[in-house]
Structure 1
Amino acid sequence: MKLSNAQYNEIAHFISTLKPTRQCMRRLKERFPSQSQSTLLSIFSQEYQKLMKRTHSKHHTPEAVELYYKRYLKDVMENPTAPVLLDLANEVDFSPALIARTILERFLQDQDGPIPTKPVLSSMLRDTSLIPDPVLANQVHQCVINDCCNGPLVDCIKHSVGYEHEVLLREKLIERGLAFLDEDQLRTKGYDKTPDVILEVPVAVDGHVIHWIESKASFGDESSHRTYLREQFWSYWNRFGPGLVIYWYGFIEELDCNRERGILLKDEFPNDIATLQDCMVQESRHTECKTEKSQETV
């Protein structure tokens, strides 16, 4: 689904008024009934990630960490079964999974032993049974399962959705009878950074020749698209030629401005693919038509 920049800004502005709870998607759908659930969810997730990046530093000052940790210890002592960390995250407008990670790291620093590393923290967030304190383990678990935009559960879902759309892309190419190499095949050939598929024989889409296709199971907003252009798409173009990017959950239509330079955007698998064989058949029919007209004139 393609949105104009004005439509996207209207959705983004409304999202800025919402708290990151499960009810927010119901409000979004009520406010924008013509937009798909998946598109709204993708936009919400991206806008929330931007907010977390902007406010991350203020929640990680030594003073803020100590304040949150003392607040946690006090509240959990009064009522250990209450969702203390989750309530704290909502109160200070911070990601539940991120505040859980902060408190967990601070807790482990108080324990005898080495300073917790990032892999150790990540493993404990994925499997809270590894946390030595059962009360904190339950608090962290509550934060992880109730965070709709951050944390190991969300990362797992995003990975699965991304893989699902890569499989969908390969299925569409096979249905169309197009020969291609996927990422795994390309890595065995020594490529380190590649698009999802490279076409063994180029095709034309909307009159533009493409050599590769990249699948993105997300909405293409200006920020993410600019990053992808810089870190991926122009690199692919430089190595493999012009290509196509599919934003399965839509994109801002004004961003599709690099077609003449070799990067096309679509929100679904294109139906108007022209292969070399199609062009040869069309040329053959054109030649036959000209021959018939020439004979009629004679």
Structure 2
Amino acid sequence: MCTRILWNTNGRAVLTGRTMDWPESTEPVLTVFPQGLKRDGGKLAGTTVVADNPLLWTSDYGSLVTTVYGAGTADGINEAGLAAHMLYLDDSDPGPRDADRPGLQIALWIQYLLDCAGSVDEALDLLGTFQLVTVGLRGFAATVHVALEDGFGDSAIIECIAGEWQVHHGRTYTIMTNAPAYAEQLRLLEEQVNTLRELGHDEPDSELPLPGNVNPVDRFQRAAYFSSLLPEAADAQQSVAALLAVTRNASVPFGAPYRSGRFATYNTEYRTICDLTGKRYFLELATSPNLLWAELDHFDLAPGAPVMALNPSDPALVGDVSAAFTPCPAPF
């Protein structure tokens, strides 16, 4: 259920790939938000879910995002070059509601960070300004963790477990999937590397027994392996293509079994690439052969500018679709 891969060592551009893996359509819409929008962190699709002391703010930065169910933001980049990605995490738990702290419904978590922070450091400084409030979307509890990166290549993985922030901050935290919690993922990766060395695989080769299933641990280890082998790219375009290849490798094919329960499969719905250097946002639907992208600098992000949106499901869309966005009411 989702993978994030940061490539901050290619010398061309800081890039991040992510997959959205989910059992049904999240109704993704590419949306451009200008500066100066007033937000209510206690609202979920127009319904009040935090009645006492909701977090209120006005956006300082414009952003280009992919929305989820029209109720929040799953992924995106802002004009300062900060990107944020929301991935599922069973262990997420903000703890009991404390009305003395401004409450932020969790589907707006990364939108708040994109609205108000221009770097990973600034985003981390905001963690003390609110308390997350878990909500439900289409029958699913929105238990998530967040990955951040900026144009300098800085990175952070943020989890809230048992009411406490767990933050992994630094350029080396480049891979993220889902369960278990991040500290355990890192331990399992180190264990896998040590096991391979004991088997004589000190260097990469085609006989290395790489984890190949679709569970979060296998995807984490596979993404870590292939992203570490990415060669120097000739230009930014080749860099995007290279990272997209690894992101596709970490994707979940249609029909791949995940686990029993409400849904047995969680195939990849879409993939995105954030170019934090060029301020470009790429999206590839798993149901379409076309790669789309939009240039954030092509939009009017000044206060008072309209919110702009594009439904990416039109099969005629391909390439730079910046001009295809149209004004729309703010979804939240």
- TM-score of the superposition, structure 1-length normalised? 0.30
Which has more radius of gyration?
Answer: 1
Higher relative contact order (CA 8 A, sep 6+): 2
Q: Which structure has the highest strand share of the two? A: 2
Q: Compare the two structures and name the one with the higher helix fraction.
A: 1
TM-score under structure 2 length normalisation? 0.28
